[in-house]
Structure 1
Amino acid sequence: MSRSIAIIYPLFLLLALVSCRKTEEIVIRDNTAPPDYTVADVTLESYINRSYISLLGRKPTDAEFATGLTQLRLNNVSQSNRETFLDGVFSNPYYPNRLFDVGRSLYLNGSDTTEFQEFIDIFEVLLQDTQYQAVWPEIREEISKMQRVLDIPLDLGNGSIDIVEMHRRLCYNYVYDQINMGTQNFVVSMFQNFFFRYPTVAELEAGETMVDGFNAIILLQTGQTKVDFIAIFLRSKDYAEGQVRDVFTRFLFREPMTEEMERLSIQFVNNWDYEALLKAVMTTNEYVGL
């Protein structure tokens, strides 16, 4: 027992002396550690990549990525920085094409421009055949409607049309009618594509009546042609709410909350500015990943 104490006591004193030894702190001048942006950079890299993929269908080039990162860093990823960054992506010449591609995918089962051109070519042949002379005016009209679909990217790019007119052209043409044959299928497709719901019995009856060329009331508006039906449909609050839902489900993978739906649908009805709607969602902390 006494021998054990004799061994432990000196060790205790040695540890005490070591623990009390003063350590001199050495300061190296002009050696400030850089700020740690590791996590933020990863977050911003993801945000930039997702924005380009969503809006242009591709990742940014090295130069585009560097520019985007600089823009977002200016004021610590402020709201205005985010909007400036997105404006740069919207200004890319390919953005209208991407918007058109998304529209074709959503409303035309992905029908490409060659399919439209093939129908135009067929109809132009019919215009040379006197057997169809009685319906030449209708054929010319169908050609014109399909040509306006092909003109969508150019017209979006020069600002002569907005998202509402793009949607009108996408659902008012021969190809859309072939996909949704018959009056009832056409009316149902409009509700499902843009309102994300099936029409009520009264809405379906009124819609069919109007599309078939008779006077009817749909969404509290009066009309008597297919053109009237589409115009009423694509300027309604229900359509605006459908666009808000579409943006939320595609970009945030969730339904908008009541307050979000009310605020953004009213904003969209007031200006029909689709890019403003996209920015309202794509500049949120939720989408950025902060």
Structure 2
Amino acid sequence: MLLLCAAALWTGCRKELIVIPDNEPPVVNNVPAIKIEHYVNRLFIDLLGREPLDDELAREVAALRAAELSQAARLALVVKLQSDTSWVEGDSSYRRAWSQHFYNLAKVRCLEGASDAEIRQFLNNATPDDSVRLLDVLASRRALELGQIQAHELFARMVYNRVYDQINMNTFNFVNATFDNLLWRYPTHAEFQAGFDMVEHGYTRTLFGEEGSSKDDYVQILTHSYEMFEGMIIWVYEQLLARRPTTEETIRLLPDFYQHRDIRKIQQAVLVTDEYAGF
């Protein structure tokens, strides 16, 4: 009798397995759900300048989990945020939002984050040439979105206008600032002298193997140089990883970047890594 009661008591206390529909496991490949959500959130902020909406977050997290956080799935999301032209509430499209954010970051780097309204103020009493260059700055966001210019050409516009000249008064500061802003280093004595002579005096000088004799020539030589593309790689790494690329990373990325000139590829190379994702 005692054994029967004990058996009955044990049966009554036995835990029952309950299956909750659509309750996915919180860990994928040893990566907790909160880290996946953080990765998606960070991608939206770094590429579009905003956090994802709730439905965007849920959709993209689900897609990454279904693909077990594969490199291909990460890349697909990054490319989508950079390039997708489908209608998106508030952004018009991800492509437009990416271009706007990139444009804003370039203005922070070169123009102390000047707003478009502040740039337009410089149109007052501007010469015809200065007006064209200022309007080129304002048009560069749309031109980047449409693929009419690449990143190095956008940066050329950022450093060749009255706003930049106001920030970096006189040729001495201009040459040093352009090297610092674009190449992430200061010029050697010979580089500085060549740039200074081109800009200040209109003398014919050689810089990075190219001859020039004007401010326009100087900006074109600088922004089309091999070092310009290395500088943009540094810029992307500093933005996304808060560090400079290693020599090996630069060697791996630079040849293709210089040939195809698509800075989105550099972003992609960083954004799919476990280092960036925190996985």
Mapped contact 1:74–1:81 kept (Cα < 8 A): no
Q: CA deviation digits over 1:209-231, x for unaligned, max 9?
A: 12232110111211112122111
In the alignment, structure 1 residue 210 sits paired with structure 2 residue 202: no
Partner residue, 1:19: none
Partner residue, 2:241: 252
For residue 261 of structure 1, report the CA deviation from its aligned partner: 1.4
In the alignment, structure 1 residue 158 sits paired with structure 2 residue 150: no
Secondary structure (helix, strand or coil) at the match of 1:222 reads: strand
Partner residue, 1:108: 111
For residue 122 of structure 1, report the CA deviation from its aligned partner: 3.5
Partner residue, 1:233: 222
Measured in 2, the distance between the counterparts of 1:34 and 1:199 equals 56
Secondary structure (helix, strand or coil) at the match of 1:154 reads: helix
Structure 2 counterparts to residues 108-187 of structure 1, below 5 A: 108-123=111-126, 139-187=127-175
Measured in 2, the distance between the counterparts of 1:106 and 1:216 equals 28
Mapped contact 2:205–2:212 kept (Cα < 8 A): yes
Measured in 2, the distance between the counterparts of 1:31 and 1:201 equals 72
Measured in 2, the distance between the counterparts of 1:44 and 1:284 equals 13
- Return the TM-score normalized by structure 1: 0.81
- Return the TM-score normalized by structure 2: 0.84
Measured in 2, the distance between the counterparts of 1:71 and 1:221 equals 49
Structure 2 counterparts to residues 67-106 of structure 1, below 5 A: 67-90=59-82, 91=84, 92=94, 93-106=96-109
Q: CA deviation digits over 1:84-109, x for unaligned, max 9?
A: 11122113122211111111111011
Structure 2 counterparts to residues 31-42 of structure 1, below 5 A: 35-37=25-27, 39-42=31-34
For residue 282 of structure 1, report the CA deviation from its aligned partner: 0.6
For residue 34 of structure 1, report the CA deviation from its aligned partner: 5.9
For residue 29 of structure 1, report the CA deviation from its aligned partner: 8.1
Measured in 2, the distance between the counterparts of 1:29 and 1:102 equals 53
In the alignment, structure 1 residue 273 sits paired with structure 2 residue 262: yes
For residue 70 of structure 1, report the CA deviation from its aligned partner: 2.8
For residue 260 of structure 1, report the CA deviation from its aligned partner: 0.5
Measured in 2, the distance between the counterparts of 1:240 and 1:280 equals 15
For residue 162 of structure 1, report the CA deviation from its aligned partner: 1.2
For residue 196 of structure 1, report the CA deviation from its aligned partner: 1.6
Distance change (3 Å), C-alpha of 1:183 and 1:29: closer
Q: Which has the larger radius of gyration?
A: 1
Measured in 1, the distance between the counterparts of 2:110 and 2:253 equals 23
Measured in 1, the distance between the counterparts of 2:165 and 2:178 equals 11
Partner residue, 1:127: none
> Unaligned stretches of 5+ in structure 1?
1-22, 124-138
> Unaligned stretches of 5+ in structure 2?
1-9, 85-93
Measured in 1, the distance between the counterparts of 2:58 and 2:125 equals 48
Distance change (3 Å), C-alpha of 1:31 and 1:60: closer
Paired letter, 1:50? R
Paired letter, 1:211? V
Distance change (3 Å), C-alpha of 1:282 and 1:34: closer
Secondary structure (helix, strand or coil) at the match of 1:151 reads: helix
